[in-house]
Amino acid sequence: MPCVATLGTVYSETNSLKWTLFTVFYGLLMAYLLAFLVVTVGFLLG
């Protein structure tokens, strides 16, 4: 999740709450998927 300063910059540059929220949820989704992938590969390797 980006810090408050990053969110403020994204909002001020885009003037859009939609893009600001997209930034937050995209980052969270990518982190979750990558962590899931790492755990799954680790489990399969034993």
pLDDT at 46: 86
- The residue extents of the domains of the chain are 4-45
Give 1-46 pLDDT, tens digit per residue. 779 999 999 999 999 999 999 999 999 999 999 999 999 999 999 8
CB atoms within 10 A of CB 13: 10
CB-based contacts of 23, cutoff 8 Å, min separation 6: 2, 6, 7, 10
pLDDT at 1: 75
- Six token digits for residue 46: 């034993």
